[in-house]
Amino acid sequence: MSFTLCNLTVEKGQKVQGYLDLPFTQEDKLPCTLIYGDREGPTVLVDGGIHNAEYVGIECVTGLGRMLEPSDIKGILILIHLVNVNGFKARTVSVSAADGKNLNRVFPGDPNGTYTDKLAYFMEKELFSRIDYYIDVHNGDWFEDLSPFIYCVGNGDEETTRKAVLMAQAADVPYYVVSKSKQGGAYNYAGVLGIPSVLLERGCFGLWSPEEVMASQKDVRNILRAIGAFDSDRFLYDRQNRIPRHMTHAHYIDAAIGGCWFPQKRAGQVADAGELLGVMKDHFGNTILEIRAEEPCIILYQTISYSVPENTPLIAYGHYIDCVDDLEGQAHDHHHQAHEHDLEELYENQGSQSVLSVDNMLSHI
């Protein structure tokens, strides 16, 4: 028995490494490991580098390609070490150098579009059409501060969502977020196609460390175990220390105006209702925009770049309590005491809460 993906073929019980040819370019090829396990199981795609400067994910998948063997795998494992090779070589941030587009915003792609559109189309037609599960490994880009968590799809049918949640619950992170989005993202679009999918987030500032890579590799192995694609006793440190909690609400704030950005919190920290999360200043140092929390929340990730263009992401935060967006005009008390229990609960679910404030920054100048 054999499995062929584009120009690479692997026999049952074997591992093959090589480069996948892309039909629309001769300059870029995707580094790939195919592992055909010696036991039956699902076909799973694991990739890194959808965002080309998110190095934890790239090194995570590259390392998995070296360490995993057919005796570990049940079914077929497709590892794409680096998807956006074009942007990686040019050291761009989040986008392809060829057209300036963000790969994770253009799915399902377009065979007649520009470079990034064609790459997304290739992934859908050549990869998504062959798989039963999808694990997309990310981390914060150079302009992002991020606390580890995991997304799973909630945009498909009930069974797809159920399986995706089970995948997310196998990761050793504090919380998971169920995404209802049906547009743009690779894992989002896979969910629309009925593929249970997760997006793992760990690491930030465009950096990587061996510890973050190994933690992500452990999460991937445990997710593979949960879906019946991995069975090995070679990895003695894969015990899951905690089961992530469902972060029932996630909110995303974009910059209404561009300028110089001063975040007031770090990712993973708790904020109370009404608390200042960040300020935007003009080039004379005047505050032109304040961002405040609408309810007690945890900062999932945020922009830390001094320069922030208009209509670009600033902050993503999550919480467990009733959401102001769901109250449909009902009175909602943001007074601290009204949410005291919820705020304490958020603190208990996340660690140190030191504040990164403008005053603190200025005191070190």
Q: Which domains does the chain have, with CATH numbers?
A: 2-226 (3.40.630.10), 251-363 (2.40.50.100)
Q: How far is CA 129 from each of CA 14, 116, 124, 138, 289, rounded to the nearest angstrom? A: 22, 19, 6, 22, 45
Question: Distance from first CA to last CA of the chain, Å, rounded?
Answer: 65
Asked if the model's pLDDT at residue 329 lies above 60, the reply is: no
Whether 355 shows a pLDDT value over 50: the answer reads no
Using the predicted structure, report yes or no on whether residue 255 has a pLDDT greater than 90: yes
Q: Is the sign of the CA dihedral 110, 114, 120, 121 positive or negative?
A: positive
Residues 6+ positions from 210 with CB-CB distance below 8 Å: none
Residue 295 belongs to what H/E stretch? none
3-state secondary structure of 1: coil
Could you tell me which residues are beta bridge partners of residue 146?
A: 301
| Mean pLDDT, rounded, for 209-233 | 97
Distances (CA, A) of 192 to 161, 181, 204: 10, 9, 28
Residue pointed to by tokens 């007031």 = 264
Burial class (CB within 10 angstroms; exposed 0-12, middle 13-18, buried 19+) of 330? exposed
Is the per-residue pLDDT at 335 higher than 60? no
In which band, very low, low, confident or very high, does the pLDDT at 338 lie, cut at 50, 70 and 90?
very low
Do the strands 39-48 and 133-138 form a parallel or antiparallel pair, or are they unpaired?
parallel
Query: Predicted confidence band at 346 (pLDDT cuts at 50, 70, 90)?
Result: low
Other beta carbons within 10 Å of 241: 6
- Side-chain-side CA neighbours of residue 31 (13 Å): 17
pLDDT confidence of residue 261: 98
Q: Is the pLDDT of residue 284 over 50?
A: yes
When pLDDT is averaged across residues 98-108 and rounded to a whole number, the result is 96
Residues 57-68: tens digit of each pLDDT: 999 999 999 999
Whole-number Å distance between alpha carbons of 54 and 91: 11
**What pLDDT does residue 317 have?**
96
Place of tokens 């196998």: 170
Q: Label residue 279 by pLDDT band (50, 70, 90).
A: very high
Would you state the pLDDT for residue 325?
Answer: 65
- Residue 349: pLDDT above 90? no
Locate 201 and state its tokens: 């987030």
Specify the pLDDT at position 91.
95
Which of 91-95, 130-134, 213-217, 276-280 bottoms out in mean pLDDT, i.e. has the lowest? 91-95
Is 99 a residue whose pLDDT tops 50?
yes
Angle made by CA atoms 244, 66, 1, in degrees to the nearest 5: 95
Residues 301, 323: contact at Cβ < 8 Å? Answer: no
* H/E element, 278: strand 276-281
pLDDT digits (tens, 9 = 90+) for 125-172: 999 999 999 999 999 999 999 999 999 999 989 999 999 999 999 999
351 exposure class (CB count in 10 Å sphere: 0-12, 13-18, 19+): exposed
d(CA 175, CA 110): 34
pLDDT digits (tens, 9 = 90+) for 170-206: 999 999 999 999 888 999 999 999 999 999 999 999 9
Q: What is the pTM of this model?
A: 0.90
- When pLDDT is cut at 50, 70 and 90, the band that residue 237 belongs to is confident
Tokens representing 155? 């945009």
Given a cut of 80, is residue 226 above it in pLDDT? yes
Q: Mean pLDDT in the chain?
A: 90
pLDDT at residue 323 in the model: 75
For residues 330 and 294, give the distance between their C-alpha atoms in angstroms, rounded to a whole number: 14
Confidence of residue 326 (pLDDT cuts 50, 70, 90): low
